[in-house]
Amino acid sequence: MCGIAGWADFERFPGREPQVLQDMTEAMACRGPDAHGCWFDEHVAFGHRRLSVIDPAGGSQPMTLEHLGATVLTIAYSGEVYNYRELRAELTALGHRFRTSSDTEVVLHAYLQWGTGMARRLNGMFAFAIWDARSERLVLVRDRLGIKPLYYCPAGRGLLFGSEAKAILAHPDVAPVVDRDGLRELLAGVKTPEHAIFRGMRELRPGHLLVFGREGRRIERYWALEAREHPDDLHTTVRTVRALLEDIVERQLVADVPLCTLLSGGLDSSVVTALAARSLAAQGTGPVRSFSVDFAGNERDFAASLVHESPDAPFAAEMARHVAAEHTNLVLGLGELAASSTRAVVPRAHDVPAALLGDAFASLYLLFRAVRERSTVALSGEAADELFGGYPWFHVPELRDADTFPWVAAGYDLLPALSGLLDPGLLADLDVEGYRAQRYTEALAEVPVLPGEDAEARRIREVGYLAVTRFVPMLLDRKDRMSMAVGLEVRVPFCDHRLVDYLFNVPWRMKFFDGKEKSLLRAAAGDLLPEPVANRKKSAYPITHDPGYDAALRAEFARLAGSPGTPVHALIDGGATARLGSANGWPARSGLEFMVQLDSWLADHDLAL
């Protein structure tokens, strides 16, 4: 998977300050535990941390391409291009010669052949930088869905970039400052494209590329969701979705290292696991390995809710038996989940506190840590709910039609949980509600229009667009940072842009044709699953229901509130401790979780607010 960092500057000479680049690269050491490298030219420097997945022996980076004895292109690359074999064959036919078997070298030659137009030819998850010595231009490219992160920051006449904010913050010219809009973004529960929380820093928008040269910088869009008439009937649509899923999963099983699936027992992860099991069996390389997460005492403590309909463990076990998977169910105890060392990992790895999903970050980190002991690559079911309409806000009119982001209407909102914990004067000054309303209006203005759509169809299109461009990125960030904190590559088959493009224009009557959530996905792949799994209702990523976890959070918050020397103390509502009460579970705990992580974040980053 890897991490990249770099610095281009036409007035300074980054090559004369090698320690700066080394510090930027080392800040992301966890993203690439297998190797590291630095490359310097007169006005540019690239750093790379490598997690070896494809061609471990030949894919070292930064990678260069020479012509007539001179280096003409250099790349620092993170991610996977799943159609690299086809591209390699096409480029070979055009006269290109390759010295490795890596997808990185294919991307380098693709740029040599097609320039920035090569971005449209890539299928995968990627973020990379290319230095074109012929034109003295830096080119940054990010995949269409934003699966892989890429940040940049102007610095004088130069430009810094990195896979994570911490790489840029390691540069001596960048101060870790979070202003009012940064805090608003953090608390609003939306992922505004390009916003990076830290002042002056930006995130390259998914489906975009940035070109930086002596004349300055420009940003180009190479992909976006488009509204088109759907030409297929229901039968053809079901067959098309099945064919796409089979092709996507087969492509994403390519790896030169151990691979597994993340299996919750829900429809999405079960479809991925079933398709992976079939493909591996056909190749003679099975059985599929699968992993799930559970919590000690969950049989006793579990309580159903709007977002957690049923516990995962029984369904994951049944699905694993159905496909004869080599399955591991990781059971997390209260001690390791509530440990301060576990909680501190989240803001350190994520570079910001976990605003919405609380302990779902910490448990995901612990799951990934266990998975990494046996596998280097994992396939996940992320984003199927957003594409096929699995969440309540696609079905419940008062949530779907609310004049805000639909997940906020459904309760994925940190503000109520922070009321009474965070200083009320600060909350009033930030006016997060006003900020969120502005961002909602901006997001709606982007939604592509299909002439003649009725009001309901248009609203479903809006909800789908908001989900793909504002909600999925939050989930992808969580998955990327928690997996990369342990050097695990997580692939997300449902984020293949071909599937996303196709489903965006499938009418709601087809996605919901039998009155059940995710009708289309069930019709396309339900035959691969046992009946209880195929018909299981949506249940979100699990959280612990142990009241001891909430008690531990309350105790930690009370300690911070009573300790004037802690970084977060000045931001706490003076009467918060007296009002804590004994409420358990999400969303009540999300405010406490945020405040505790906020303290760790402020301490680790030496922030100026």
Residues with catalytic roles: 2
Q: Taking the CB of residue 584, how many other CB atoms lie within 10 A of it? A: 19
The span from the CA of 400 to the CA of 407, in Å, is 9
In the chain, the amino acid numbered 416 is P
Residues β-bridged to residue 362? none
- With H, G, I as helix, E, B as strand and everything else as coil, classify residue 167: helix
Name the strand (E) or helix (H) holding 408. Answer: helix 406-409
Alpha-helix runs per DSSP H in 222-266: 234-252
**Cβ–Cβ < 8 Å for 327, 292:** yes
Percentages (nearest 5) of helix, strand, coil residues in the chain:
45, 15, 35
Residue pointed to by tokens 């290109």 = 96
**Cβ–Cβ < 8 Å for 47, 38:** yes
What's the per-residue H, E or C state across 500-532? HHHHHCCCHHHHCCCCCCCHHHHHHHHHHCCHH
The span from the CA of 141 to the CA of 120, in Å, is 11
Half-sphere exposure of residue 472: CA atoms within 13 angstroms, side-chain side:
28
Q: Taking the CB of residue 140, how many other CB atoms lie within 10 A of it? A: 25
**Which of 398, 403, 430 minimizes the C-alpha distance to 414?**
430
User: What are residue 283's phi and psi, to 5 degrees?
Assistant: -85, -10
Name the strand (E) or helix (H) holding 229. Answer: none
Residue pointed to by tokens 């940072």 = 481
**Cβ–Cβ < 8 Å for 83, 67:** no
End-to-end CA distance of the chain: 33
**Which of 268, 163, 325, 238 minimizes the C-alpha distance to 494?**
268
Residues β-bridged to residue 563? none
The span from the CA of 5 to the CA of 161, in Å, is 5
- Length of the chain in residues, anyone? 609
Tell me whether residue 98 is exposed, middle or buried, using C-beta atoms within 10 angstroms of its C-beta: 0 to 12, 13 to 18, 19 or more: middle
The span from the CA of 348 to the CA of 139, in Å, is 28
Q: Taking the CB of residue 131, how many other CB atoms lie within 10 A of it? A: 26
